[in-house]
Amino acid sequence: NGTALTANDSTSNGNNGTFSKATAANGIVDGAASFAGSGNGISIPSASSLNITSAITIDLWAKSTNKAIGQVFSKNTSVSAATPYEFQFWNDGNMYVNLKTSAGFSGNVFYPYTNGQWYHVVETYDGSRVKMYVNGALQRNIAWSGLIDKNATALYLGSSGGSGAFNGSLDE
């Protein structure tokens, strides 16, 4: 509803987040978290339930407010580090989903964006394909294989653990 901000896991996994300067904002589904750059974010401690290895689906609403490098979510601590999975807005006007498996780095699966516009983005991996859906339509479908890499890093929303600060909003 844009007035209360929580980062509580709705599953039985208990992957609750800790806020750093993120604020409540109006969103698409109830309220959203708004990030205003450096020092903003939500961190979710590393847990075995976040080390997904065989298949993953990530579903979110996001909008960027500037054309800068901004990590919407990432399971790493640097925008230049290889990450098991991440989603970011980039300063070239594209949003990217990335996945790293035992076969290597899937490369950037991308789609152009406009600042200030909400996007419903879904990234899936089933062990053989990386797919990116934007606003309900399949935009990218890339053959890929292998087990998703694991690491002991927290899952970050709105940054990469202090770098790659995101300017925009994230819902659901």
What span, in angstroms and rounded, lies between the C-alpha atoms of 140 and 119? 15
Q: What is the DSSP letter of 102?
A: T
Q: For each of the chain's 172 residues, which pLDDT tens digit applies?
A: 455 677 777 888 988 888 777 877 888 887 888 888 776 778 888 888 888 888 989 888 989 888 777 878 888 755 555 577 788 888 888 888 887 888 877 666 788 999 999 999 999 999 999 888 999 999 989 898 888 888 888 888 887 766 678 888 888 7
Angle at 138 between CA 13 and CA 84, to 5 degrees: 40
Predicted model pTM: 0.86
